[in-house]
Amino acid sequence: MPADCCLETGFRSADLPRLRVLIGSYAARLGLAGHRRDALLVSANEVADNAIRHAGGGGRLALYRDGLLVCCRVSDSGPGFDASVIPDRAPALGSATGWGLWTVRQLTDSLEIGRGDGGRPRGAVVTFCVRLTRPAR
């Protein structure tokens, strides 16, 4: 974890509203605003919700700045998963799964999926980052 971590907290289902408020506040302190802040909030909510639904009901979230990036890391102690489960294209309209992480991939500037929580072999570690300013196209 980078030394400039500004938020690190555990969460469960009942904590999601409070977690969104915390993330919004800390993201603003780190310099995110407008659509970039919204992208981080939606992404954090989706990944935290996945941890709640698929990995035992909760996890840990850390928010930090890394140069021009604001990054969020969500870890859990569930079975973990491989990045290959995230579709490259939008899931079928009738699909019940795949939308959350696909959306995170679309909204963020980077998305990494790892395994292990606190050095244990189980669990997923999902890290995504949003640039403070969008690069010129």
pLDDT exceeds 60 at position 135: no
Residues 6+ apart with CB under 8 A from 134: 36
Of the CATH numbers 3.30.565.10, 3.40.50.920, 2.40.30.10, 3.40.50.2300, which one belongs to the domain with range 8-131? 3.30.565.10
Segment 5-45, tens digit of pLDDT: 689 999 999 999 999 999 999 999 999 999 999 999 999 99
- CA quadruple 125, 130, 132, 137: dihedral sign: positive
Higher pLDDT, residue 47 or 135: 47
pTM of the model: 0.87
pLDDT value at residue 18 = 97
Name the nearest CA neighbour of 69 among 32, 106, 107, 19.
Answer: 32
Q: Which two tokens stand for residue 53?
A: 């639904």
Q: Which two tokens stand for residue 36?
A: 């970039």
Name the nearest CA neighbour of 107 among 46, 54, 17.
Answer: 46
Segment 91-130, tens digit of pLDDT: 778 877 778 899 999 999 999 999 875 556 678 999 999 9
